[in-house]
A and B are shown apart, each in its own frame.
Chain A
């Protein structure tokens, strides 16, 4: 039976459900003139959620509802950053939504439900919770992509996302059913991740278990957007309204890492000798496809989509190391990528105004002349994405490379570094366009005057520099979460 203690453990989640429902009601009963208030309320909701997550964090990992839900340090870190980046997305989104008359309760409620999905997913202790969290996140995201339903691209992107996402969910579910079946052959069937851990030792159907594992890796690959399961990424990134793209590039990636960690380490840890090679292969393909295809993109959102694919390749480098060191490095990478992604898309949002969508790389021409500060923030984001020291992205890369070498996969580290050189080009190209090209005569390029956006975006991009200079505490936090 659920006890009061169980509910306390899930307090942030319960709070978020209540808050999201309340927001829906508010939206329905508010006068249109008061609607903009929703924005501030939603941000406050997220900030309070961060407080609840941190303040109520138990010193030791605890489980609730009979192991369905795990609250440990890994979950805490991922939740804090998912909530934090989503709050940033809200700040960045306001001028965009206002200019396009998209300010509505739906955006905020769906986003909060998506975050709730992330929180469940990264705390999952059971296959059912994994699936529940994943679907909550995915269904909210599908709807968010189609938010601007009158435009041409968003519905198309949403349908693509939905069809492929449903397929991937099906694969995952199918894999879970096989694992469940294998756990019942020679023992009691279980969905609990902690108990699944030693299925391999007793099951009479190891082949079935491995098959299930493969299907689950496919599901994870899809969620991460790792090649060859990356097909949805470019279209969704390009088609979705930029704030939603920002969310998919940040919070969603943290969730995908959390899901991979829960399923692979907690659930299938005994099979790491099998899945670590699968992940290594996914990593190599992602690095290759992401970096090579990004070079030829002219649309910035699409370019960043392919860059995401390559970044997931680096994240997989850490996961493939299959040890606490590797997980810590991969989590560090996921956090780093979330911050960089929010910053890069944030600059695009800051340059997008009514009637002008900043999304082609050529739109940034001569940005340094028009708005040196925005150009500088984008420069930080680009060099960080490229992995040039002293920026944050460099250290994240160093960590995953070290993890790979540590796990005796020197070859993988060399592949990773070679693609880093190739990837360098398209980030430098963006800097080139901003700094070395002349602005278009009479061009519409101009930064949003919205003060909160400017301040938060500046802090966001400068944090890439600050964390690049002093990343010790964050790394220590990540390592501590994995018992190092």
Chain B
């Protein structure tokens, strides 16, 4: 049996970027088709992964492990569980759509743009299946390089500021994680995540390591108050960059929490769960209000991303409260499941929202809400998709946005009704900022004469939006396959929460 499926998934896009680069600026179409081919192939391979993966087994599957650095005992270790599989398939799916989305939009050095996207995709897949902490860290940081280039070259007017801020901000967080990992290496003499999970640590050690991990991942998620890089990066990034950033890259932060904070420092995690819960609620409520007053569409969606990611962190850490303090293992499962579904759903919804904004930006070259109005008159089909994604963004039942949020709110109600009350605010605020956005952009009479000249979406754009719409609706109407895929992995995680390591 072929057992290098994960390596293939990582290296196919990374190596595939080389011929794309070689196509050069002289043959932009060749570069485009090549990169699309690579992205589609990667997606197909990830479907194989979906088939190969056995959702019943709780252990990590499709294990690949080669000794990488012998004198340090570092392994090139890859393996997946249900959560990884879901995230990887989402990544490859979004990978096709961003390349299709950038097709003729990127006219300046398209080969470099496409190659950066492919490398980014490969590295992200690597992050989702690394089982060695040092390998994870290297990939986690390496992501920054292509993203830095993507925002810096193809971004908006303030792109240099945004991209430097993005890079330095995220780098700042993760270096402390590196120190924590090196400290753990001193104790365990390995970077293997499973061994680190079994390593006994005193509470003081756990607390320090917890905060080192938290700062790294909280910046990536991003959580309040370290979210300030996100609006800048999103606003200035090219459409494809924003989509990958929102859809996949933010998940790296929450995924890291699952892989590092939960198993390695569960006691500190339980002790400080209140802190993360409070920060998540602040993100949900306060950032929701901040989103309400934005005048820039991209900024609005960026802030709504912060608020939605608040649900993911809430779902993860409410599980601590439920398991440790109250013993509601099944409720904890529900909260965690909700967080996972929210991760996937937010990937599709925010990706779709940014794509929509990109479509409008390509026509009018402005992101300010006041420049639009009555777009539905010029672009009815576009309006249809836009409204659909807006509904998903505010969590309408039947769309994917509803499922995760509902499960998290349900779980937090068991933990503490007050938490649920604050979390449920999002249904009001989220509807507020999203519907108001739709009202100002789509409905009403055309006030700006340029809006009347906007062309209806073409076949390529329709394909991208329709693919997003299909994903959003499929998850909303029938989330069962996704739940089933992640079920045993989530219960494994919840069991780990209960283990005291001191």
Give chain B residues whose Cβ lies under 8 Å from the Cβ of A401: 178-179, 182
B226 in contact (CB, < 8 A): no
Give chain B residues whose Cβ lies under 8 Å from the Cβ of A429: 164
Distance in Å: Cβ of B421 to nearest Cβ of chain A: 39
Give chain A residues whose Cβ lies under 8 Å from the Cβ of B112: 368, 372
**Contact B148 A428, beta carbon cutoff 8 Å:** yes
Chain B contact residues: over half helix, strand or loop, or mixed?
helix
**Contact B183 A405, beta carbon cutoff 8 Å:** yes
B70 in contact (CB, < 8 A): yes
**Contact B182 A405, beta carbon cutoff 8 Å:** yes
| Contact flag A428-B164 (CB < 8 Å), given A372-B112, A388-B145, A394-B141 | yes
Distance in Å: Cβ of B31 to nearest Cβ of chain A: 13
Most chain B CB within a 10 A radius of its CB, from A389, A420, A432, A436: A389
User: What's the Cα separation between A231 and B258 when bound, in Å?
Assistant: 49
Distance in Å: Cβ of B105 to nearest Cβ of chain A: 19
Selected from A388, A394, A435, the residue in CB contact (under 8 A) with B152 is A435
User: What's the Cα separation between A390 and B164 when bound, in Å?
Assistant: 19
A431 in contact (CB, < 8 A): yes
Selected from A388, A475, A476, the residue in CB contact (under 8 A) with B144 is A388
Selected from A372, A398, A428, the residue in CB contact (under 8 A) with B182 is A398
A479 in contact (CB, < 8 A): yes
B379 in contact (CB, < 8 A): no
B-contact 0/1 string along A398-417, CB 8 Å cutoff = 10011001100010011001
B135-172 at interface with A (beta carbon < 8 Å): 137-139, 141-142, 144-145, 148-149, 152-153, 159-160, 163-164, 167-168, 171-172
In this complex, the interface size class of chain B, counting residues with CB under 8 Å from chain A, is 35 or more
**Contact A436 B160, beta carbon cutoff 8 Å:** yes
A383 in contact (CB, < 8 A): yes
**Contact B72 A475, beta carbon cutoff 8 Å:** yes
**Contact B153 A436, beta carbon cutoff 8 Å:** yes
Selected from A405, A406, A418, A424, the residue in CB contact (under 8 A) with B168 is A424
**Contact A472 B138, beta carbon cutoff 8 Å:** no
Distance in Å: Cβ of B174 to nearest Cβ of chain A: 10
| Contact flag A421-B168 (CB < 8 Å), given A383-B145, A388-B145 | yes
A-contact 0/1 string along B42-66, CB 8 Å cutoff = 0000000000000000000000000
A380-397 at interface with B (beta carbon < 8 Å): 383, 388-390, 394
B71 in contact (CB, < 8 A): yes
**Contact A417 B176, beta carbon cutoff 8 Å:** yes
**Contact A405 B70, beta carbon cutoff 8 Å:** no
Give chain B residues whose Cβ lies under 8 Å from the Cβ of A424: 167-168, 171
Give chain B residues whose Cβ lies under 8 Å from the Cβ of A484: 71
**Contact B168 A425, beta carbon cutoff 8 Å:** yes
Give chain B residues whose Cβ lies under 8 Å from the Cβ of A368: 109, 112, 153
**Contact B182 A390, beta carbon cutoff 8 Å:** no
Q: Count the A residues whose beta carbon is within 8 Å of the partner chain — how many? A: 34
User: What's the Cα separation between A479 and B72 when bound, in Å?
Assistant: 11
Give chain B residues whose Cβ lies under 8 Å from the Cβ of A432: 152, 160, 163-164
Q: Which residue on B lies nearest to A328, using beta carbons?
A: B71
User: What's the Cα separation between A258 and B109 when bound, in Å?
Assistant: 46
Q: Which residue on B lies nearest to A401, using beta carbons?
A: B182
User: What's the Cα separation between A388 and B186 when bound, in Å?
Assistant: 22
A-contact 0/1 string along B100-137, CB 8 Å cutoff = 00000000010010000000000000000000001001
Q: Which residue on A lies nearest to B108, using beta carbons?
A: A369
**Contact B71 A389, beta carbon cutoff 8 Å:** no
A-contact 0/1 string along B177-207, CB 8 Å cutoff = 0110011011000000000000000000000
User: What's the Cα separation between A432 and B164 when bound, in Å?
Assistant: 9
A471 in contact (CB, < 8 A): yes
**Contact B153 A406, beta carbon cutoff 8 Å:** no
User: What's the Cα separation between A470 and B141 when bound, in Å?
Assistant: 17
Q: Which residue on A lies nearest to B149, using beta carbons?
A: A435
B69 in contact (CB, < 8 A): yes
Give chain B residues whose Cβ lies under 8 Å from the Cβ of A417: 175-176, 178-179
**Contact A472 B68, beta carbon cutoff 8 Å:** yes
A51-77 at interface with B (beta carbon < 8 Å): none
Distance in Å: Cβ of B83 to nearest Cβ of chain A: 23
Give chain A residues whose Cβ lies under 8 Å from the Cβ of B137: 389
Distance in Å: Cβ of B323 to nearest Cβ of chain A: 32
Give chain B residues whose Cβ lies under 8 Å from the Cβ of A389: 137-139, 141-142
| Contact flag A472-B71 (CB < 8 Å), given A398-B178, A436-B153 | yes
Give chain A residues whose Cβ lies under 8 Å from the Cβ of B185: 402
Distance in Å: Cβ of B138 to nearest Cβ of chain A: 4
**Contact B175 A390, beta carbon cutoff 8 Å:** no
**Contact B70 A472, beta carbon cutoff 8 Å:** yes
**Contact B68 A428, beta carbon cutoff 8 Å:** no
Give chain B residues whose Cβ lies under 8 Å from the Cβ of A476: 70-71
User: What's the Cα separation between A436 and B175 when bound, in Å?
Assistant: 26
B477-491 at interface with A (beta carbon < 8 Å): none
Q: Which residue on B lies nearest to A480, using beta carbons?
A: B71
**Contact B71 A479, beta carbon cutoff 8 Å:** yes
B378-407 at interface with A (beta carbon < 8 Å): none
Give chain A residues whose Cβ lies under 8 Å from the Cβ of B176: 417
**Contact B69 A405, beta carbon cutoff 8 Å:** no
User: What's the Cα separation between A425 and B72 when bound, in Å?
Assistant: 30
User: What's the Cα separation between A398 and B172 when bound, in Å?
Assistant: 15
| Contact flag A388-B178 (CB < 8 Å), given A428-B148, A436-B153, A476-B71 | no
User: What's the Cα separation between A82 and B112 when bound, in Å?
Assistant: 36
| Contact flag A406-B178 (CB < 8 Å), given A435-B152, A472-B69, A479-B71 | no
**Contact B148 A394, beta carbon cutoff 8 Å:** no
Distance in Å: Cβ of A397 to nearest Cβ of chain B: 9
Distance in Å: Cβ of A319 to nearest Cβ of chain B: 18
Distance in Å: Cβ of A473 to nearest Cβ of chain B: 9
Give chain B residues whose Cβ lies under 8 Å from the Cβ of A431: 148-149, 152
Give chain A residues whose Cβ lies under 8 Å from the Cβ of B152: 431-432, 435-436
Give chain B residues whose Cβ lies under 8 Å from the Cβ of A394: 138, 141
**Contact B69 A402, beta carbon cutoff 8 Å:** no
10 A–B contacts, CB within 8 A, in A order: A388-B141, A390-B142, A394-B138, A410-B179, A417-B179, A428-B168, A431-B152, A432-B163, A472-B70, A484-B71
Chain B interface residues toward A at CB < 8 A = 68-72, 109, 112, 134, 137-139, 141-142, 144-145, 148-149, 152-153, 159-160, 163-164, 167-168, 171-172, 175-176, 178-179, 182-183, 185-186
Known pairs A421-B175, A436-B159; list 4 more (Cβ under 8 Å). A402-B186, A421-B171, A428-B164, A432-B163
Q: Which 3 A-B pairs have the closest CB atoms?
A: A389-B138, A472-B69, A436-B152
